[in-house]
Structure 1
Amino acid sequence: MHPACSVSLPQVRDGGHLVSRPIASSSRGFHCAPRSFRCAATPSDDESTGANVPLNFPDPEAKFRRYGKFFGGRYSLAVDWLGRAPRIRFRQKADRGVDQLSELAILNERLAGRPPWEIRRKVDYLKTRKRNWEMIYQQVTAKDAVTTLRSLEEANRKVEAALSEESRESTSVGDLKKVLVDLQGEVNEAHQKLHLTEARVKQNMDRINTLKREAEELDALDKSMHSIRSEAGAETLDSVPGDLREITSSLDKDAKTHTQTPKKNKRSKGLESSLEMEDGLGNFWYPVSFTSKLDSNTLIPFDLLDEPWVLFRDENGSPACVRDECAHRAAPISAGTVKDGKAVCPYHGWEYDSTGLCTHMPSTVQCKGIRVASLPVAERDGFVWIWPGDDVPGEVPDFTPPPKGYSIHAEIEVQVPVEHGLLLENLLDLAHAPFTHTSTFAKGWPVPDVVKFNTAKLLGGNWEPYPIDMSFEPPCMVVSKIGLAQPGKIMRGQRADTCDKHLHQLHVCLPNRKGEVRLLYRMSLDFLGWMRALPFMDKIWKNVANQVLGEDLVLVQGQQKRMSKGGNTWANPVSYDKLAIRYRRWRNSVDDIGPGARMAGRTRMSAGEMLSPDE
């Protein structure tokens, strides 16, 4: 059928109106409704003179023809005029039905009153892939359905799905082959490693058996020599062969060497490093959380001295601390919620008050007297304090607030994977700053010279390389005050009290568990008070603190690893270790001191006193 056909549509009467029937397709060719239709004669070669063939629908480009026959051609792209150029096509008889399918679809859409040029554009797009179009033809003719654009698009979706599934199956087979080859290579490599491991195991077993035999022979020899001594006495040893006497003496020497206790280094002066937590550390007040972090709807879990606890506020708004372990099934209470001043376990809804008493048990009969452990709690100077020990709690310390005239700029909490004593000794060691913190706060700091200290002592003065005052506050706190010339720069040769601007720091090293500490850090300034209102300052301070702590962790974690293998951090102490040494001596005697002497470890020193070679 030629695209320029004019068709008289078959009509039937439906309810008094004449309606047109669409033309359908089948495997035997095209057919229409029972009534016949008429098509205008196809113009011959003689008629291709430009005469327009009358059509039954309006020409969409008629409004542009008044501008000339070649309107728009000057600005056409090459692709457009190439597409409109006439082509010579050779069509086989067997392909005639496939080619006529598009014309039939366009004709049916015209019968339905839709614009034919839009339909032709969509149908031409479907015909761009020849294989797909042939399969669409098979789909449509197999159903003997009405040929419309909708039926063609539906057939195209099925064809695309079929081709995609076929491609996926073929690809997956290739991938499986590749995976199979890779797995075969891995299996061969694993076999080689297994054979190598078996050979090494066999070699080690042979070595072990040899050592066992040598040990048995030496043991038998030692027993025989003891029997000789007991029977004949010391005089008879002269009659023993020389080589046997030599072996015996060497055995005795080795035995004495292994049984002797190692001598302590005299320079250590009785200092002992340990990763264990002494029992006496429990009888102190510990600031375990910032007050600003604990509201009426919050549960704060923490570990202290290897015991789990949880903080919350009771019905009166006062802080409370109970053991973070439900009395029913040992579930963590901290995973639950706070309801009317009670901590609610998330497992079965058991509720606990500030004393640890279970006040409500849903879905069961209330059992009286069920409780969990609780601790004495206090709130002071922006901290929540607890007393985990067995002794009667004393007075809450008063050294944590910043001095008068200072404003708090940052409160930071960090989990640190090191023993709390090692971190305290690191904070009390000022001499490491110009070597370790070269990219943060100590950038450009000079290394103090011993000559300057000696000269100042001879002249009756006191040399202060850095304007820093530092103190240890039992059981686990370090307070420092730093004089600043301007933000980020210290003044040299002066004490902190003589400077105009100051930075005040409080480090609380809470002993969570063995080899782990929870660090609470508070930073205050007596200048730049307006900076507290900036919304991003807390992130800046936290980033700076993490950078400084990261520089220390490389070394402190290395100390802890070597201590676990028998290393000693106090084998050779020197003069500038004096503040950390005083902490370690206090720590070594914490189990023996009485309640009145627990705070005797408080020691404050300036930078000059810490670094001077007097001790």
Structure 2
Amino acid sequence: MTTVASLSLLPHLLIKPSFRCCSRKGVGRYGGIKVYAVLGDDGAEYAKNNTWEALFHVDDPGPRVPIAKGKFLDVNQALEVVRFDIQYCDWRARQDLLTIMVLHNKVVEVLNPLAREFKSIGTLRKELAELQEELAKAHNQVHLSETRVSSALDKLAQMETLVNDRLLQDGGSSASTAECTSLAPSTSATSRIVNKKPPRRSLNVSGPVQPYNPSLKNFWYPVAFSSDLKDDTMVPIDCFEEQWVIFRGNDGRPGCVMNTCAHRACPLHLGSVNEGRIQCPYHGWEYSTDGKCEKMPSTKMLNVRIRSLPCFEQEGMVWIWPGNDPPTSTIPSLLPPSGFTIHAEIVMELPVEHGLLLDNLLDLAHAPFTHTSTFAKGWSVPSLVKFLTPSSGLQGYWDPYPIDMEFRPPCMVLSTIGISKPGKLEGKSTKQCSTHLHQLHICLPSSRNKTRLLYRMSLDFAPWIKHVLNEDLRLVLGQQERMINGANVWNWPVSYDKLGIRYRLWRDAIERGVDRLPFSNQNEDEDEDEDEDEDDGQS
């Protein structure tokens, strides 16, 4: 309800010129609010005794909130909650209307020519200033009421779902009870079966890769390096099993559109970029970065548009927002720490699911076993590997390896490795090392069995890059094959799996749509948690 719309609902008796404003205040009072009387030609008071007075004789339903009698609402209780919500919305709307009527009367009193004769300009200015302040408060109150109404409607929808679910459960439980009664030896045995507590949930990642939950799309995803996107080039990508193409518009800004021509479904990336528009190679249709078709050779121009995604460029990276929710206004920084120089940027297409690849990147306890010919050559195998994490967060460091690591939602892993030269460990922490390797891994979910990997490295270890990735890839491919066949890739987590476990719990929370994500509050005290059993796969 807007202020303008509310004023349009005021009774005509309040705005007719023939009425005059009474300077007496407090003639009527509702809910502690002063009501200014409006007098007609005959001197009658309309604010106290008129046909509109009944509009506001509605009691506050707050004290009559329905009380839940158990953990679950039955059908009657749910309907009572729905009825209470409707009553509350009605009462709140009447209170807002009353507030607006009061302010209207004040406007009439201040601006009335009869009243103005007896007031100085200074007094009028003061009253107008006070009135403006009250109008601002009323405006805020109207917006608050809109929010309450919206929340009430959401609750109504939830209650409707609850009622339907309870009806289905009641029907199903009746049938189950009848079946158990006929088969069970006694009622007590049936009761023991029904009341048996379900086993504790554990982390289980097995079976074929499931379709992506829409909640996972509501993030900014980095999809390309700026250096790969020239003014006349296109970068085709797959994201969440949809095909897109990125190119630069006439203003130099990147855009992301569906990689399919609206005419004959020809892949647009097979064409070219012409004056900031992507041109289809089939019939020459040209599209701008927002997906609008701006050129159709040899035919009448039609209003045609293809899908596009919000696209933004920051710090040498092109980002897209593939979700349906409005994009957030902030994009995280992925630049290396101060003092580092970017030496290499590589893009690879890997035939593995992006979650498995993230699991691998977040686990460096495998380094002395897998990366024996690259940066971990010569590393000793310690008797115990621990991953120390803050009490809240998705980052930490390895002990006794000089490795700092962080998972940054939704698909980025940043790591810093302290190392002097290949095969030699200089210290047990990055702070004890004089030189470091900083890595950024971005695992874009192209499809359920394919990942677009963007890798950025700082310092001068470029000859190792592909070799290191290939060492990991042969392991992850084997994991994926066994996972699809039913093996649980997180069957027995141990202490150094903490960060990988936290990533899986974070992703599970995203897909379940929980309000508060785990490990997301970075403002809490970041005391190191050295409890080895904290994240042993239990949720």
Normalized against structure 1, the TM-score is what?
0.50
Contact 1:473 1:601 (8 Å CA) reproduced: no
Query: Does 2:343 match 1:409?
Result: yes
| Superposed CA offset, 1:454-511 (max 9, x none) | 9xxxxxxx99311110011111110001112346633232x21332211111000010
> Which runs of 5 or more residues in structure 1 are unaligned?
1-232, 235-262, 455-461, 526-530, 532-539
In the aligned structure 2, how far is the partner of 1:265 from the partner of 1:351?
A: 58
Q: 1:303 to 1:453 in 2, by over 3 A?
A: closer
Partner of 1:581: 501
Q: 1:310 to 1:295 in 2, by over 3 A?
A: same
Partner of 1:248: none
Partner of 1:485: 420
Partner of 2:307: 373
1:398 pairs with one of 332, 347, 364: 332
Partner of 2:205: 272
Contact 2:205 2:483 (8 Å CA) reproduced: no
Query: Does 2:505 match 1:571?
Result: no
In the aligned structure 1, how far is the partner of 2:387 from the partner of 2:356?
A: 28
1:306 pairs with one of 238, 241, 257: 241
In the aligned structure 2, how far is the partner of 1:415 from the partner of 1:463?
A: 29
2:284 pairs with one of 346, 349, 352: 349
Higher relative contact order (CA 8 A, sep 6+): 2
Superposition map of 1:5-154 within 5 A: none
1:523 pairs with one of 452, 457, 461: 457
Q: From the two aligned structures, give the one with the greater helix fraction.
A: 1
Superposition map of 1:332-481 within 5 A: 332-368=267-303, 370-450=304-384, 464-481=399-416
Equivalent position amino acid for 1:285 in 2: W
Q: After TM superposition, give the deviation of residue 427 of structure 1 in Å.
A: 0.5
Partner of 1:496: 430
Equivalent position amino acid for 2:324 in 1: D
In the aligned structure 1, how far is the partner of 2:352 from the partner of 2:466?
A: 15
Contact 1:474 1:601 (8 Å CA) reproduced: no
Q: Secondary structure at the match of 2:335?
A: coil
In the aligned structure 1, how far is the partner of 2:511 from the partner of 2:245?
A: 27
2:265 pairs with one of 330, 341, 355: 330
Contact 2:419 2:435 (8 Å CA) reproduced: yes
In the aligned structure 2, how far is the partner of 1:565 from the partner of 1:437?
A: 27
Equivalent position amino acid for 1:399 in 2: S
Equivalent position amino acid for 2:434 in 1: D
2:468 pairs with one of 537, 545, 548: 548
Q: Secondary structure at the match of 1:489?
A: coil
Partner of 1:166: none
Q: After TM superposition, give the deviation of residue 325 of structure 1 in Å.
A: 0.5
In the aligned structure 1, how far is the partner of 2:204 from the partner of 2:521?
A: 15
Q: After TM superposition, give the deviation of residue 375 of structure 1 in Å.
A: 0.6
Q: 1:449 to 1:613 in 2, by over 3 A?
A: farther
Q: After TM superposition, give the deviation of residue 398 of structure 1 in Å.
A: 2.5
In the aligned structure 1, how far is the partner of 2:276 from the partner of 2:316?
A: 21
Structure 1 or 2, whichever has the larger Rg, is 1
Superposition map of 1:163-242 within 5 A: none
In the aligned structure 2, how far is the partner of 1:302 from the partner of 1:602?
A: 33
Contact 1:300 1:334 (8 Å CA) reproduced: yes
In the aligned structure 2, how far is the partner of 1:570 from the partner of 1:265?
A: 18
Q: After TM superposition, give the deviation of residue 373 of structure 1 in Å.
A: 0.4
Moved more, 568-577 or 423-432: 568-577
> Which runs of 5 or more residues in structure 2 are unaligned?
1-181, 184-196, 389-396
Query: Does 2:449 match 1:505?
Result: no
Contact 1:305 1:513 (8 Å CA) reproduced: yes
Q: Secondary structure at the match of 2:307?
A: coil
1:316 pairs with one of 246, 251, 255: 251
**Alignment RMSD:** 3.4
| Superposed CA offset, 1:196-251 (max 9, x none) | xxxxxxxxxxxxxxxxxxxxxxxxxxxxxxxxxxxxx99xxxxxxxxxxxxxxxxx
Contact 2:291 2:306 (8 Å CA) reproduced: yes
Structure 1: 4+ residue segments shifted above 6 A: 263-266, 451-454, 608-611
In the aligned structure 2, how far is the partner of 1:264 from the partner of 1:569?
A: 23
Q: After TM superposition, give the deviation of residue 399 of structure 1 in Å.
A: 3.4
Contact 1:506 1:521 (8 Å CA) reproduced: yes
